[in-house]
Structure 1
Amino acid sequence: MKPSLVDLLEPRLAPLDLAHRLKLARELIPGRLVFTTSFGIEDQWIAHTILTLGLDIEIATLDTGRMFPETYDLWEQTEARYARRIAAVYPNPAPLEAFVQEHGVNGFYRSVENRKACCHIRKVEPLSRLLAGASGWVTGLRADQSQARGEVAMVEYDETHRLVKLNPLLDYNRDAIVALTEEFDVPVNELHAKGYLSIGCAPCTRAVKPGENERAGRWWWEEDQKKECGLHVGEDGVPRRRPTTQATTP
């Protein structure tokens, strides 16, 4: 996969809605195209679009083993609604067992380094296995989720996994996605209605408070600039970015 494909995709995708972005990406990106879902509201809208259009895009989740019961319930509801299994990738047991043995079952609370190590074992390494051999990766990142994510591009070349990374909802806002999921009766996590706007592992997620950004409930005991799990960051520990002109919010 050549980085120049990013330059071809960016201007062509920007003026389109999600459905047409995904269709065009599927046409132009050869080989495996993988969408990773955490069953958040934006991921549910992307999954709905892929499945109702019948696009040849794999859908998979990183099951960390620490997700909320409500997330597992939504996983089952989604499979039932669309009559499609959603694949799962799990942590390798040996490093996970070693981490728990050394730091304890909730040792990620003790330091940023421990938390990032846990995220690496439960998310980052499994993602690398999932994306091995893929040509493209679809995510649910949105620019308005946090200040750091506001700096990423709709289409990027991911040097770590050596593929095109597509963030097709980057310029959508949360209210627009909520309205779409309601209009089309897309199943969503019941925790959203309880203030859990960004949902990850249960021990590392709380409801947000009035006035907080939607990712404030993730790893709330850490400084804001450090709050990424490692899936969407470069070697410097911050979200990857590429100079680009973003489209206006649909």
Structure 2
Amino acid sequence: MEKPKLWMIPQPTQDDFVQLEAKEKQLLARLQDISNAHQQIKFASSLAVEDMVITDVIAKTKAKITVFTLETGQLNPETLALLSVLKKTYPQLNFELFYPDTQAIKHYEEQKGKFAFYESVALRRECCYLRKIEPLNRALASADCWLTGQRRSQSTTRTTLPFYEQDESRQIAKYNPIYDWSENEVWAYILKYQIPYNALYEQGFPSIGCAPCTAPVKAGDDIRAGRWWWENKDSKECGLHK
């Protein structure tokens, strides 16, 4: 039986590259406005291509924005390799890593099982809390705003995503500076400036998270279909952005 064709990196059109110029200027203006309005700004990078776009602009403009990544302990080798490349590519960045509490992870695995997250949405979200949300809380403890690389067209759970939100749980501002970018525009930026990206994109992974919870996606499927692939599409968020 012939293997199904997997998602492939989009090939931006000439129109995408033309539109990109205006999007770049707009992104620069947005980051400048955010920098003028806040003192302790942190950007949560998952090392996705969207985040690489924002990281590159932060580095180019020398914006006073700290970039951090949640090293969940379950990242793919390709993602960890990109971390090393990122530090070499942007040595000028203030870059931080945040890890889960090892004792909390040990307790979860002993009490519920190492792969309990496959058993229910509740157990999966508990794992996400320990590996992502609790470290995120520590990462943002001193921040007065944070940035994400979320986009509206990424999933059915993000179609109404705004540029600005109020993070009610932490009482700080939250911005999604490329919320209105298309997938093709993101890739146009990556290709135009030869920005490093995760090798898993070349293996059919349009959206990349923890290794046990991420799978390649068939051509034509939703780009987040490989995230928590055993769940209903409407539950596919880890809680970072609730």
Please confirm whether the aligned pair reaches a TM-score higher than 0.5, indicating the same fold.
yes
Alpha-carbon distance between aligned partners in 1 of 2:28 and 2:74, rounded to the nearest angstrom: 32
What TM-score, normalized to structure 1? 0.85
Is 1:91 the counterpart of 2:94? The answer is no
Q: Which amino acid aligns with 2:40?
A: R
What TM-score, normalized to structure 2? 0.87
Structure 1 equivalent of residue 50 of structure 2: 42
Alpha-carbon distance between aligned partners in 1 of 2:170 and 2:143, rounded to the nearest angstrom: 8
Is 1:67 the counterpart of 2:75? The answer is yes
Is 1:194 the counterpart of 2:203? The answer is yes
Is 1:227 the counterpart of 2:225? The answer is no
Is 1:26 the counterpart of 2:29? The answer is no
1:115 to 113, 118, 124: 124
1:214 to 189, 212, 223: 223
- Deviation, 1:147, is 1.4
Structure 1 equivalent of residue 153 of structure 2: 144
Q: Which amino acid aligns with 2:155?
A: S
Task: For residues 218-243 of structure 1, give each alpha carbon's deviation from its aligned partner in whole angstroms, at most 9, with x where no partner exists.
Answer: 0010011111000001xxxxxxxxxx
**Contact 1:154 1:167 (8 Å CA) reproduced:** yes
- Runs (5+) with no aligned partner, structure 2: 1-22
Is 1:180 the counterpart of 2:189? The answer is yes
Give SS of 1:151's match. coil
Mapping of 1:6-25 within 5 angstroms?
Answer: 17-25=26-34
2:142 to 133, 136, 145: 133
Alpha-carbon distance between aligned partners in 1 of 2:139 and 2:90, rounded to the nearest angstrom: 22
Is 1:77 the counterpart of 2:77? The answer is no
Aligned-residue identity in percent: 37
Alpha-carbon distance between aligned partners in 1 of 2:215 and 2:170, rounded to the nearest angstrom: 31
- Structure 2 CA distance for partners of 1:15 and 1:87, relative to 1, 3 Å: closer
Alpha-carbon distance between aligned partners in 1 of 2:181 and 2:36, rounded to the nearest angstrom: 22
- Deviation, 1:19, is 1.6
- Runs (5+) with no aligned partner, structure 1: 1-13, 234-250
- Structure 2 CA distance for partners of 1:46 and 1:15, relative to 1, 3 Å: closer
Alpha-carbon distance between aligned partners in 2 of 1:104 and 1:129, rounded to the nearest angstrom: 26
Alpha-carbon distance between aligned partners in 1 of 2:220 and 2:192, rounded to the nearest angstrom: 26
Alpha-carbon distance between aligned partners in 2 of 1:154 and 1:27, rounded to the nearest angstrom: 16
Alpha-carbon distance between aligned partners in 1 of 2:195 and 2:28, rounded to the nearest angstrom: 15
**Contact 1:70 1:189 (8 Å CA) reproduced:** yes
1:155 to 149, 152, 164: 164
Give SS of 2:159's match. helix
Give SS of 1:75's match. helix
* RMSD, aligned α-carbons: 1.4
Alpha-carbon distance between aligned partners in 2 of 1:215 and 1:93, rounded to the nearest angstrom: 28
Q: Which has the higher contact order (CA 8 A, sep 6+)?
A: 2
Segments ≥4 residues shifted beyond 3 Å: none
Structure 2 equivalent of residue 57 of structure 1: 65
